[in-house]
Amino acid sequence: MKFSLFPNNTSRNGFPIMDAYEYALKQAGETIMHHDMNADVAVIWSVLFQGRMKSNKEVWEHYRKQNKPVIVLEVGAIKRNTTWRAGINGITGDAYHGPTNNPKDRFDLFKIELAPWVNRSKGKIVICGQHDDSAQWTMHNDIPVAKWIYDTVVSWRAYDQGSTFIIRPHPRNRFHWASLGNPDNLGYTGLSDPKHISGTYDDFNFPDLLDQAKLIINYNSNPAIEAVLKGIPVMTHESSRCWPVANPIGYTETIRTPNRQQWANDLCYQEWTESEIRLGEPFRRIRPKLEELVK
């Protein structure tokens, strides 16, 4: 197969990962090109089409319109900037990361702990926003993230006037109260601006909100994963990687808190260290699917 990589359209933390993936493809005997729009498979960094990655939108749309697969590399959620994702046609739960029903060995390797499910009856409901320029969002929605947040809170208020909501925008997609509509309709609601953690590349203070939360509402991005690992129940869209252990988004008096072990096992087979990527482990897991997709 012919693979076209787009290293110029990569974030600073993604350069070593793109290089490791290219090395793995070469070791597997694949044909490699750069910035070519006519290959069998494209390899891009992220589906957040902003900044250095803005040009990837054209790549994404070009290849997907031809029904050609796009491998998307992105930062992971298990150990941010230590583990990385490589999915076919996305990075969420509706992308393909490889076979499921995996064993527990990688879960043990990462030394992950699944905290017991939390039951905080007086905790806060935290809604985590996403980025309007990300295909994670636009593949499923044609309204702004702020509008979705506003509508979610307002619909909840028809049944629950007492819970406190905290709205947490995406760190690079912030908004003001005015963009949410009439704040009088939101009841007890606060806005929590993400704060960068000094000395890190792009870590923010989301764990502080987890300590206060009884529920996390997140469409399909990493905050839901962080919450589930910490034992905070979540509501997500079905495209979330947390969907197997999540609740549908919307008011309910019964919150599902299922067994998470198989979900966690599979999650650990969706994320890889740089050295594992260089050795070709994630590529070997998705190569059979690529062969099906490339005619």
Q: Among 64-78, 102-116, 194-208, which stretch is predicted with the lowest mean pLDDT?
A: 194-208
What strand order describes the sheet that includes 2-5?
31-34, 2-5, 41-45, 70-75, 84-88, 271-272
Please give the average per-residue pLDDT across 48-67, as a whole number.
96
Give the torsion sign (CA, 43, 169, 130, 102): positive
Report the pLDDT value the prediction gives residue 177, as an integer from 0 to 100. 64
Range among 78-82, 117-121, 234-238 with highest mean pLDDT value: 234-238
Report the pLDDT value the prediction gives residue 190, as an integer from 0 to 100. 84
Report the pLDDT value the prediction gives residue 142, as an integer from 0 to 100. 94
- Write the class of the CATH domain 2-99+271-293: alpha beta
- Write the class of the CATH domain 124-259: alpha beta
Q: Confidence band (pLDDT; 50, 70, 90) for 202? A: low
Statement: residue 101 has pLDDT above 90: yes
Express each pLDDT in 145-170 by its tens digit: 999 999 999 999 999 999 999 999 88
pTM listed for this prediction = 0.93
Please give the average per-residue pLDDT across 37-61, as a whole number.
96
Express each pLDDT in 21-39 by its tens digit: 999 999 999 999 999 999 9
Segments of the chain assigned to CATH 3.40.50.2000? 124-259
Residue 198 CA to chain centroid, in angstroms?
Answer: 23
Q: Confidence band (pLDDT; 50, 70, 90) for 48? A: very high
Residues 6+ apart with CB under 8 A from 58: none
Report the pLDDT value the prediction gives residue 203, as an integer from 0 to 100. 66
Of 108 and 170, the one with more pLDDT: 108
Q: What is the mean pLDDT of the chain?
A: 93
Report the pLDDT value the prediction gives residue 178, as an integer from 0 to 100. 67
Express each pLDDT in 72-83 by its tens digit: 999 999 998 999
Q: Confidence band (pLDDT; 50, 70, 90) for 181? A: confident
Distance CA 205, CA 198 (A): 10
Looking at the chain, the whole-number percentage of residues with pLDDT higher than 90 is 84
Please give the average per-residue pLDDT across 175-183, as a whole number.
71
- Entry field: residues in the chain: 295
Give the torsion sign (CA, 281, 30, 287, 28): negative
Q: Which of 51, 50, 62, 220 is nearest to 139 (CA)?
A: 220
Statement: residue 194 has pLDDT above 80: no
